[in-house]
A and B are shown apart, each in its own frame.
Chain A
Amino acid sequence: MGVGLGNEMMRYEAPESTKAAVKLLAGSRDRARILAGGTDLLVQMRSGMPEPALVIDIKHIAAMGAIKREAGGFRIGAAVPSAELGEHAGLVKAWPGVVEAAGLIGSTQIQGRATIVGNLCNGSPAADSVPAMMVAGARARIAGPGRRRDLPVEKVVVGPGKTALKRGELIESIFLPKRPARSGDAYLRFIPRTEMDIAAASAGVFLTLDRKGICTDARVAIGAVGPRAILVKPAAKALIGTPLDEAALTQLAAACSAAARPIDDKRGTKEFRTHVVGVLARRAAVIALKRAKGE
């Protein structure tokens, strides 16, 4: 009985406050894991990896299950499933790229459970929501034994499956800032199939225009083409000061390809992934541009 190796010592706790969750997490001598949607955790438990000694279900913590407006932006609780992001009209309007990225993760069934915080903490280089959050300037609020701290999303993942979280820390929420006027975001990925697959290359773009349609600010991130998703500064620079003309878009694509350090496997060769990540960035930039212009 059970998904793991029949380790009957696994404990399940469902605390009702972040404080109680942190206490459990920090007090656990053995491996403790946070359970939100469980779409990675339960698969890992079944895969024969050592079962955690303690599973802390955060879905009974009221604040973690809510999307709230804050300072013109949105605070998304760590237990909010992806499906809820797509049902939140305000969030869809403000950050369509982030919502679309989260909406690409798995099937309808997975969408009903999987969270963007889980997607981030799982530490996969191909996590769809991560490049989108990075370009949106999202910040993770971290609770732990000490004071709460905020960390930009791009600083959370430090390597495959590894995060910057310290012992006893968990991510409580993601904050998406107020989107400036005349700005837009977009995220695209390439998968070898049409649905239910993991990105072989991906790109997120956020940009802001001035009244004349010249790009004044941009952030570009690429995923699945290195040990973790990264922001590509030269790619953003290629857009700033331009109306996103052909020359700028070509430079953007070249900068993304230059920053790619992909693996070579049956899902995509190194050459293919390197090329395609530039194409995706270029197409995402065109979508973000249309959104910034309100088209």
Chain B
Amino acid sequence: MSQIPVTTTINGDATEFLCEADETLLDVLRDRLELSGTKEGCGTGDCGACSVMLDGRLVCSCLVLGAEAEGREVETIEGMAEGDTLHPLQKKFLEHAALQCGVCTPGFLIAAKALLETNLDPTETEVRYWLAGNLCRCTGYDKIVRAVLDTAAEMRSA
């Protein structure tokens, strides 16, 4: 079976790739496009480590076929900082030490960014529910939640 040619936009750049019909977007990003910032955790949509934005919606890239990216816009963690300037969320995650091993971090950052784009004044409860699909086995979540709330507060006053 011949591979499927896909034309898509990733972090604002027009991108073309070939993939197998049963290959996930996560595998395409990591293994074909060398965008390994997106992590694989469970591979079944439970852990959120592979979170990316697809046409402006937060999704698990392990549950998206590479072929589905045709004509759509994908945003990954690689597109979050602007050059050497970190996104406010990335800065606050560092400040609050909201990570330890770091495998879940790209997914948390992408998911938290999606939240703040729709709600810049979330309550702690809203943050916790929004991020319920992102699992972290190190931090116990408190530092992550505080980093997100602190970022929101800073972005509101900016």
Contacts and interface: CB of A to CB of B under 8 A. Distances in A.
B124 interface: no
Interface in B12-29: 20-24, 27
B133 A38 contact: no
Contacts of B131: 108
Contacts of B129: 195
A167 B45 CA distance: 29
A198 to B, nearest CB: 11
Nearest to B51: A109
Contact of A109 (B20, B22, B43, B111): B111
Given A10-B22, A43-B44, A81-B57, A196 B132 contact: yes
The secondary structure that dominates the A interface is: loop
Interface residues of B, number: 36
The secondary structure that dominates the B interface is: mixed
Contact of A39 (B45, B48, B70): B45
Given A38-B63, A39-B63, A110 B21 contact: no
A106 B133 contact: yes
7 contacts: A1-B31, A11-B1, A35-B68, A42-B63, A108-B115, A108-B130, A109-B60
A110 B45 contact: yes
A1 B27 contact: yes
A51 interface: yes
Contacts of B1: 8-11
Interface string B38-82: 000001111010010010011110111101101000000000000
